[in-house]
Structure 1
Amino acid sequence: MKSGKVITIEDRIPKLKAERKRKANRRLIIYLSLFFLLILLVVYLQSPLSKIGKITIEGNHYVADSSIVKAGNLTNETSFWNINTKELENKLLKSNVQLSDVKVHKRFPNTIYIEVKEFVRVAYLKEKDAYFPILENGRVIDKLLSDETPVNAPILANADKKKLEEIANELKQLPQSLIQRISEIKFTSSETISYDLRVFMNDGFEVRTSVANLAENLRKYPAVVSQIEPGKRGIIHLNVSTYFEEYKSKNEEETEHESEG
């Protein structure tokens, strides 16, 4: 028979008391921690730290920061935790037709980060002395202010407004490097000719093509120009067939540019 040490209840009592004391201490620590966390939460919610402390906006070029902040009703009194990012995104998108996408992020402790995308301005519609930006979706927005000038996009003169969406769709397919080489685009009024656009380039050439094939044809432009003898200027036909027609004289070049076609 295997013998063993007998532990009496009197021997176990000190250990049981010590174990109960440790458990009681742990519960006390947990309760105190929760209590102080609640106190800190209440203090935080009542302090300026729970309000929006900083608003960072990126991606906008034409739409001002102030317009975005105003459209979102964002102030330093707005609760950081009450902001619903999806609702704010939808609200900002509806506030300005130039915005194509909006993403809102909340960054602890109190920063609102807004990332926006704008529709590209593919051209400017000229009417008298005013210029109206045309967005890539074909929408024409309010005219430029008197101190603004059309940049990084061609000017559309005597445009057929029924074809604005179509020409906008064509222009947005072109690389920016090629867009910036276009000075002006004029619509022709004759239905007896094979082209309906005269595209004047910054390097002195004129391209004759059509709205329907504008992007496809203008992509050929750099290759065609590279084959033209240096110093020569004239008309590059890029529609039914591709060929170069040199201006016969300086007066003819000026007449071609000034003519409404």
Structure 2
Amino acid sequence: MEKGKIVSLEDRIPKLKQQRKKKANRRLIFLLLLFFLLIALVVYFQSPLSNIKKIEISGNNIYSNEEVIKVSGLSDNTNIWKVDKTEISKSLKNLPQMKSADVKIKLPNTVILEVSEYKRMAYIMNEKSYLPVLENGKILKGQESEEIPANAPILFGFSEGEPLKAMIKDLENLPEEVQNSISEIHHTPKESDQYRITLYMNDGFEVIASLRSFSEKMAHYPSLIAQIDSNSKGIIDLEVGSYFKPYGEEGAAGNEEKAEDAE
């Protein structure tokens, strides 16, 4: 047998007991910490400490923060862990002018509402007031206004349906410069074209077109009028080709008369 110190079993037992005691103490401390952590979490979840403290809203111009919060159903009594993002988004999108709504949670106590509203593209004359027309082609009833933005066109002869949807879609595709130059748009359908429209421009011109090709042709309006004598006003016909008839010339008066009859 090699020479060396021989440790008896009696000497080793106290050391083993001490090591086991340390391990048991560490295990006990871990379990106690885990227990108190669970207790703290239960208290947090069930107490006002986990309630919403702040609601951040962005993207709203038409609806006020108060209106958005009211429809969302959120309050400082709402538990942050019970926020139903899908249901809140659905409720907000039920608002007539709400295009989209995204709900986010920022721990520990903040809810973020990111919304997007439909733009008001035009207005429809309703007796002595105006009804907004949204970018989805819906007429916003119950939102009458006696005044409208200076650059918003007024629509006549339209009702909810495909022609109005096509009209709004075309307006949205037009350059802003051209949009702002339109004063009135009249739906003047004829038997051969239910999408025929007549526009009255802020610069004194009248435009006859079809919604089937309106946005494509009307995008060139600035270059068209640049080729016309500044002292000459009349009708720009974009239905088939693209030509101009000064007021007073034979054919121009006839076009005016047809537009009035169709209205």
Give the structure-1-normalised TM-score.
Answer: 0.80
Structure 1 match to 2:109: 110
Q: Cα RMSD over matched residues?
A: 3.2
CA distance in 2, matches of 1:56, 1:152: 32
- For residues 6-21 of structure 1, what are the structure 2 equivalents within 5 Å? 6-21=6-21
Matched-pair contact (CA < 8 Å) for 2:198–2:209: yes
Residues paired across the two proteins, number = 254
Matched-pair contact (CA < 8 Å) for 1:182–1:199: yes
Matched-pair contact (CA < 8 Å) for 1:101–1:118: yes
* Distance apart, 1:150 and its partner CA: 4.1
AA aligned to 1:62 is: I
Matched-pair contact (CA < 8 Å) for 2:187–2:195: no
SS of residue paired to 1:149 = coil
SS of residue paired to 2:114 = strand
CA distance in 2, matches of 1:197, 1:206: 11
Instruction: Specify whether residues 178 and 56 from structure 1 end up closer, same or farther in structure 2 by C-alpha distance, changes over 3 A only.
Output: farther
Instruction: Specify whether residues 156 and 87 from structure 1 end up closer, same or farther in structure 2 by C-alpha distance, changes over 3 A only.
Output: same
Structure 2 match to 1:71: 71
Structure 2 match to 1:214: 214
Instruction: Specify whether residues 21 and 175 from structure 1 end up closer, same or farther in structure 2 by C-alpha distance, changes over 3 A only.
Output: farther
* Distance apart, 1:104 and its partner CA: 0.6
- For residues 108-187 of structure 1, what are the structure 2 equivalents within 5 Å? 108-146=107-145, 149-150=148-149, 152-159=151-158, 162=161, 163-187=163-187
Gaps of 5+ in 2: none
Structure 2 match to 1:52: 52
AA aligned to 1:154 is: P
Structure 2 match to 1:82: 82
What percent identity do the matched residue pairs reach? 42
Matched-pair contact (CA < 8 Å) for 1:127–1:157: no
CA distance in 1, matches of 2:90, 2:194: 45
SS of residue paired to 1:81 = helix
* Distance apart, 1:211 and its partner CA: 2.3
* Distance apart, 1:112 and its partner CA: 1.2
Matched-pair contact (CA < 8 Å) for 1:125–1:131: yes
CA distance in 1, matches of 2:91, 2:194: 46
* Distance apart, 1:160 and its partner CA: 5.6
CA distance in 2, matches of 1:19, 1:202: 94
Matched-pair contact (CA < 8 Å) for 1:80–1:110: yes
CA distance in 2, matches of 1:204, 1:112: 51
